[in-house]
Amino acid sequence: MEDGNTLSYPFEFSDISDEEKKMIDKLHSFSYASELARLGPKGYIVTKAFKKNAADIYNLPLRSGDIFVTSYQRSGTTWTQELVWLLANDLDYEKALTVPLIERYSFLEMFMFVPDGGLESFMKAARQNSENFNEDMMIQFINRIATPASQILATAQSPRFIKSHLPMSLLPPKLLGTAKMVYIARDPRDVIVSFYHHTKLFMMTGFTGTFKEFWHLFHKDLLAMTPYFEHVKEAWEKRHDPNMLFLFYEDLSKNLPAAIHRVADFLGKKLNDAQTAALCDHLSIENFKKNKAVNFEEFRAFGMLAKNEEFVRKGKTGGWREYFDEEMTQQAEKWIEDNLKDTDLRFPSTN
C-alpha cells in the first residue's frame, strides 16, 4: 500500500555567493560552481538540476516494505547496502554477486549529478581526463542516470531498496512512519579522505585541486550535501524511532558480527553462527574489493574511472591521519567540537 498525499515543497533554492563560486571554479576544469545551489534554511549544497525532481522526492509514495539506506556520501553506504540487501533477501549470494548493486537499489537523487546546463562541459572534462573515453557509452550512461528514480520506483516491485545521500529534511516527511531506514555515519575526517579519492576516481567531476583544497571545500560547506554535521544530526535526532537504525562505520569496522546482528534484528531476521561467519567473509574488505557487483568496475571499460583509483578502497578507520597536516588537524578538531557542543552525538574512537 502506498501513502501519497501531495505536499507543497517547503524549501527555497538560492545561489551560492560570487566568492564561493570563484573558490570552487578555480579547483575545477570547468565551471562547476554554475551548477550548484543552496537549498532550505540549512543551505544544503545541491545541483540546480535537483529542482526538477525535488518535490517528487519529497512526495514520493511510500510502501511499508521499502528499505532506505542513507548517509552522507563515503560513509560506508555501499558496505551497508550490501549487508542490508543480503539480510532482507535471505542471503541470496548468487544474485548479490551477479546483479550490480546499482540495479538492486534505486539511487534517489542520482539524476541531479547530470549537469542541468553544462552537459558539454561535463563531457569535455571526461574526454580530457580519460584515455579510454567512449562518448556513445557515456551518453547512454548519462541518459540512464538522468531518469529520476521516483519515476522508476513507481513501477518497481516490492520490496523496494532505495539509496540516498539526501538529509532527512529533504526526504519524504512521513518516511519513518511507513518505511524502514538504515543510516550510516562516519568520522568526517575519514569521510573527506574517501570523498577526495572518489572525486579523483570519477574523473568527469573535473576536480583539479589538492587534498588540502578539497578539505577546505568540505570544511566551508561547499561540497555536495554539506553542511556535513547538519546532515548527520538530522538522522541522529531520529535514532530512537522504531523504523530507524543509526549505525557508525567505526562499529562495523571494529565488530562486524555484532553489527550484522543489529541489522538482522532491525529487519526481523535471525542468523546462526555459520551464516554470520559467511556474511562476514562476503563483506570483508578483501572480498568486497574483488566483488564486481559492488565496485563499479564496469565503468572503467568506457573510461569513466581513473586508472590509479578504486571505488572500494582500504575500508580503514583513522586513515585521515595520513593526510592531515598539523594545521588541518587543529582546524578539524575545532570544527568537530563546535558542531557537537549542543548534541550528544559522538563518533566512536579510532585510536
Contact 228, 188 (CB under 8 A): yes
Position 311 confidence tier, pLDDT thresholds 50, 70, 90: very low
Determine the 3-state secondary structure of 313 from DSSP.
coil
Cell of 10: 517547503
Over range 243-253, report the average pLDDT.
96
d(CA 173, CA 170): 8
**Buried-state track 256-286, b at ≥16 Cβ within 10 A, e below 16:** beebbbbbbebeebebeeebbeebeebbeee
Name the CATH topology of 17-340. Rossmann fold (3.40.50)
pTM of the predicted structure, to 2 decimals: 0.89
Contact 228, 72 (CB under 8 A): yes
d(CA 9, CA 32): 26
With a cut of 90, say whether residue 214 has pLDDT above it.
yes
Please state, rounded to an integer, the average pLDDT across all residues of the chain: 87
Cell of 244: 530507524
Over range 134-147, report the average pLDDT.
72
pLDDT for residue 336: 96
Among 275-279, 283-287, 314-318, name the one with the lowest average pLDDT: 314-318
Position 287 confidence tier, pLDDT thresholds 50, 70, 90: confident
pLDDT tens track for 50-64: 999 999 999 999 999
With a cut of 90, say whether residue 172 has pLDDT above it.
yes
With a cut of 70, say whether residue 210 has pLDDT above it.
yes
pLDDT for residue 347: 94
Over range 260-283, report the average pLDDT.
97
With a cut of 90, say whether residue 333 has pLDDT above it.
yes
Pairing of strands 106-107, 244-248: unpaired
Question: Position 259: which residue type?
Answer: A
The larger pLDDT score, comparing residue 22 to residue 32, is at: 22
Domain extents in the chain: 17-340
CA dist 303 to 28, 101, 129, 258, Å? 19, 20, 9, 39
